[in-house]
């Protein structure tokens, strides 16, 4: 029952964040960039501005709503890049073995030894701030977990009878990997991707907080926190609502990933029981 509750709660939270991102142009009450009026600067939450305004008089609610699009884009695109790189390396390493397996394993261990945020900071320092640079940086930093899972799955699956039967029928290596191995390892990959999206959203917020993410004045939850850090005690709503948005999005993705793991991995479910 608890496992199903995690899945339902995570699914509801993630669906809510996705809906907010999709419907942002229609549910936002103000333009998140252009509607700046210093006469309404740092207004507390009220009837006209339900989440208050920032130092430029921009509506915080509208900026958070549009910021959901940026966070979801970063989470999805960066995780797609991570999954493609990790699956390609792990699947081929586990199936072919030999020197290629040794090379991929060494490279994976090296990536695991370097904190992903530090690696992303180094890439962003070279490429400069911006959404494209952010996607590249985050897309190249977290593939090692997917690679390890894919490699372990390929090592386990390649000795199965249906793989040997495919070889007997004359299937090539690429066809075997794509039609016989990959479909049977999608479960763990989906779980890792779901959890990785939450990590990517946190990383985007961290980089934007440091000034290396989304360029102002475009709304980003991390950049909104960065702008509010000097006024956290005097104008608390500047940091409260962006922080809650990050918390809800990451919590939903983690709960969803946890629930999917228990459904797609019977051994994990048995251990918890």
Chain segment 22-65, per-residue pLDDT in tens: 998 899 888 888 888 788 888 888 888 889 888 888 889 999 99
Domain annotation for the chain: domains and CATH numbers: 70-272 (1.10.3720.10)
Across 100-104, 160-164, 198-202, 226-230, the highest mean pLDDT is recorded for 100-104
E-strand spans in the chain? none
> What's the rounded mean pLDDT across residues 104-109?
92
Percent of the chain's residues with pLDDT above 70: 95
**Phi and psi for 159 in degrees, rounded to 5?**
-95, 0
User: Per-residue confidence at 270, pLDDT binned at 50, 70, 90?
Assistant: very low
Residues contacting residue 60 through CB under 8 Å, at least 6 positions apart: 49, 51, 52, 53, 54, 224, 237, 238, 241, 242
Bigger pLDDT: 100 vs 259: 100
Q: What is the pLDDT of residue 244?
A: 93
Q: What is the pTM of this model?
A: 0.85
Q: How far apart are CA 135 and CA 208, in angstroms?
A: 12
Of residues 16, 54, 49, 5, the one with CA closest to residue 30 = 49
Chain segment 209-235, per-residue pLDDT in tens: 877 877 777 788 888 888 888 788 888
Q: 3-state DSSP call for residue 53? A: strand
**Token pair listed for 235:** 């104008």
- Report which DSSP code applies to 180: I
User: Per-residue confidence at 1, pLDDT binned at 50, 70, 90?
Assistant: low
Q: How far apart are CA 225 and CA 219, in angstroms?
A: 11
Q: What is the pLDDT of residue 48?
A: 83
Helices (H), 42-185: 60-96, 98-113, 116-127, 131-139, 143-157, 161-168, 173-176
**Token pair listed for 93:** 């390493």
Q: What is the pLDDT of residue 90?
A: 93
Please say if the pLDDT value at position 126 is more than 60: yes
Bigger pLDDT: 130 vs 94: 94
Q: What is the pLDDT of residue 128?
A: 81
Chain segment 138-177, per-residue pLDDT in tens: 888 889 989 999 999 898 888 888 888 888 888 888 888 8
266: number of CA atoms within 13 Å, CB side? 0
Of residues 19, 60, 70, 43, the one with CA closest to residue 243 = 60
Bridge partners of 53, per DSSP, are: 59
Please say if the pLDDT value at position 269 is more than 70: no
Bridge partners of 59, per DSSP, are: 53
8 A C-beta contact, residue 71 and residue 221: yes
Q: 3-state DSSP call for residue 210? A: coil
Please say if the pLDDT value at position 86 is more than 90: yes
User: Per-residue confidence at 208, pLDDT binned at 50, 70, 90?
Assistant: confident
Bigger pLDDT: 39 vs 250: 250
> What's the rounded mean pLDDT across residues 129-139?
86
Q: How far apart are CA 154 and CA 181, in angstroms?
A: 7
**Token pair listed for 24:** 């942002």
Q: What is the pLDDT of residue 265?
A: 62
8 A C-beta contact, residue 82 and residue 120: no
- Report which DSSP code applies to 229: G
Please say if the pLDDT value at position 4 is more than 80: no
> What's the rounded mean pLDDT across residues 198-212?
84
Q: What is the pLDDT of residue 2?
A: 53
Q: How far apart are CA 213 and CA 210, in angstroms?
A: 8
> What's the rounded mean pLDDT across residues 66-72?
89
């Amino acid at each position: 029952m608890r496992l199903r509750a995690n899945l339902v709660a995570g699914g509801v939270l993630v669906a809510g964040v996705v809906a907010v991102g999709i419907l942002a142009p229609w549910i936002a009450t103000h333009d998140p960039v252009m509607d700046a009026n210093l006469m309404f600067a740092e207004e507390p939450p009220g009837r006209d501005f339900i989440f208050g305004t920032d130092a430029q008089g921009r509506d915080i609610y509208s900026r958070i709503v549009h910021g959901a699009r940026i966070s979801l884009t970063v989470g999805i695109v960066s995780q797609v890049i991570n999954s493609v790189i990790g699956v390609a390396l792990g699947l081929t390493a586990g199936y072919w073995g030999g020197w290629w397996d040794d090379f991929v394993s060494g490279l994976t261990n090296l990536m695991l030894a370097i904190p992903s945020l530090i690696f992303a900071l180094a890439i962003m320092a070279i490429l400069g701030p911006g959404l494209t640079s952010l996607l590249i940086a985050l897309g190249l930093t977290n593939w090692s977990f997917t690679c390890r899972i894919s490699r372990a799955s390929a090592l386990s699956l390649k000795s199965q009878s249906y793989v040997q039967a495919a070889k007997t029928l004359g299937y090539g290596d690429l066809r075997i990997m794509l039609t016989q191995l990959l479909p049977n390892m999608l479960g763990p990959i989906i779980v890792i991707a779901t959890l990785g999206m939450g990590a990517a959203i946190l990383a985007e917020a961290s980089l934007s907080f440091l000034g290396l993410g989304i360029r102002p004045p475009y709304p980003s939850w991390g950049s909104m926190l960065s702008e509010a850090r000097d006024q956290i005690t005097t104008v608390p709503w500047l940091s409260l609502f962006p922080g809650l948005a990050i918390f809800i999005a990451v919590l939903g993705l983690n709960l969803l990933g946890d629930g999917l793991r228990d459904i797609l991995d019977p051994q994990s479910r048995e251990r918890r029981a």
